[in-house]
A and B are shown apart, each in its own frame.
Chain A
């Protein structure tokens, strides 16, 4: 059953009581919230996601709620609960859905240690994954969003979840987070994208999410093999440049962008060596998204 198969009252009831068991790729998140904006955004963005049985197993039990203090009326805030813990400081009251998304990313990156988790967007074509590891502000999510609207499958805009035994990347197709100018860039580049309202003045600036393509959610059970590592960098006014990167340097970039490399230790190193060994590695500078996606459309898969 998909979330869209439930009526709005059923969704509200589940979120307010037992929780909505949303499957996002390899994990099930039992989500609770009574905040209208969160309920609306969940209904919009997760419409195509599977809903598991209410009494079934869930990997994570999370809640976005108002704090239990007087500020809930004066200056509303939101908090994120993980099991019975509140791991983060409260945020302004209109940031409930972004906080839920950031919290769900944290659940995987800091708890799913059966996988090697990298801070990277991931897209797929012909069964091969392209990792886009990069620090905030590098244009990673913008490029990911552009590629997703030009034939690549979305695996994640934030997390590369790598199974060490198979080296495959597990899809975690969830709403794609865009910031500041990227929101209008993708709005113009892909008018068909379904956005939730922009939330302003977050610690990342203005943030808006767009709904993951239905086909990406439907294929969430299909992992992807190593293909490419691309280090994207948006640079105003630049021409589009794809430059080969040595595999050794590429590996160090992946280490720098790993969330739980220290947990895996030696096995983590061996996993990344094997991943890079099977991939082609590039640095990629762009300013024009049309040009960038055209160039990458012609990228050949490694042998």
Chain B
């Protein structure tokens, strides 16, 4: 995890403010989804709600899907999205990613645990 962290070039300040999490899609028992041309629609059983994800959320969702049941750390997700950049931008990108992941979690589409 630490190596991932370094690879993404996180700043120390961001580390302190937001401990890294590991993310995965919600279990298949509660989530069913489909993607057409990178656009995701998903149904969350606990809330009985259907979601159309925007372009950025769809990309994150699909990256989580590729990570499988073991999930992925945030820096690794950034890597897989091709968003990892050098130094100063990385903290902002991680915050954006965290916003999307939080939104997916609130919708019952993703879950997190401490990395």
Contacts and interface: CB of A to CB of B under 8 A. Distances in A.
Interface of A: 246-249, 251-252, 255, 261-262, 265-266, 269-270, 273, 277
B52 A249 contact: yes
B57 to A, nearest CB: 12
Interface string B21-39: 0000000000010111101
B100 interface: no
Interface residues of B, number: 13
Given A269-B32, A270-B32, A251 B48 contact: no
Interface of B: 32, 34-37, 39-41, 43, 45, 48, 50, 52
Contacts of A261: 50
The 3 closest A-B pairs by CB, nearest first: A269-B43, A248-B39, A247-B36
Contact of A266 (B32, B37, B39, B52): B32
A243 B93 CA distance: 35
A265 B52 contact: no
A277 B34 contact: yes
Main secondary structure of the interface of B (DSSP, over half): strand
A68 to B, nearest CB: 41
Of listed B34, B37, B45, B52, residue having the most chain A CB within 10 A: B34
A266 B34 contact: no
Contacts of B43: 265-266, 269
